[in-house]
Structure 1
């Protein structure tokens, strides 16, 4: 994270693409708006309208083949500048698996690894010895480890950030908080602990789908906590497209994020909407 990114570049730090003809996603079957394929061709008009010049595409399945496909996409697509993929974090040979991904087509775009910890019933999963070993290997490979957790798993997520200061972490979707007045304080306490750790950034993403409406004032309260506890240089905007379509269009999601950060200075806005992602994903190195 010591590179000097182009702070004028607007970045969507979290979106997905998938082709159901290539790889089934069972979790979409009962969600009509998501149970179809989504490509960069679908997203590109929205990116151009929003003035977003680069994106980070994120895994959706526990298949290393998807990561290979996403890296190939990054190699040929004008917008995809970084990939957060998947590989088995518990694999004793994870270092070799990461080497294969980084040395393959588009491999220089590999910026991070994610596992859907939110689907793990064990609230100590991140503390398992084999998981710690794998996360350390991800950090040693120069990659970030993305934390996708439920709110009740935040204690586990915060502790692994504290226990492994040598690893760079990115917390997805602000930790998937419950957006409600009585839920703010407990979640904010965890963000305060993360704020004291320089090895973690947080994505301002996924909140529109957790709110009664995408324009609820509660979103401003949650965003203010992130900005106050971590600072704009450790907060990054992500659309979570196409999942955001459950609550708002891509354009609406971008507009909500802009409104939530309009109190910031131009420099600080540039960090949230580009600079932070460029640093944490080392885009200048690609």
Structure 2
């Protein structure tokens, strides 16, 4: 299994966590592809990337692009991309290997796609892998996270070309579908891969003062533990928002814009 890990030593606690976790969770040899957005911006023209994105968002997107580059350059047929706050299940290797057998050309299968609101998922063509199930959502917007996914080389090639100069967030699967970068999209439900309770490095807090305050609060031991538990609880609640329907999804039939 070819495993690419979005992690960088600069984010020391997350990097330490994922390195230790991978040692016990998988036999695959990880390839680390993490890029720090602030560092990348210092070495390029700021207008090279979308100017409304935070350095964290740009770094995340470039890290995934870095994974796509290695997949394409290494002529890897199928690969797994995982972020540094993923919690892999004990049967991760066997589950991923079994899913990969069914991966289609140009497809991405997300192993972690929580939803804030209820989303319809098609039962047609559902795939059972041991105790896990894989479904085609009715809409691409249901695919909500880049925490851990399996990707076919053709999708990696298209995303590499499209996002070397960052135009899309790493998890903007709705745009990937609309633009024809992927041919099929599937998700696991319930989630196969969970997320740890780390504070986001993306920079969703808006203004710089709010991001600074958030970092300071997270350094207070009891507040850090409380917020970590709260984040994990809220994230788990989002796993229950898939509504199963019998209609065939366009995401199964195939993207009309994919060429």
TM-score using structure 1 length? 0.23
- Higher helix fraction (1 or 2): 1
- Higher strand fraction (1 or 2): 2
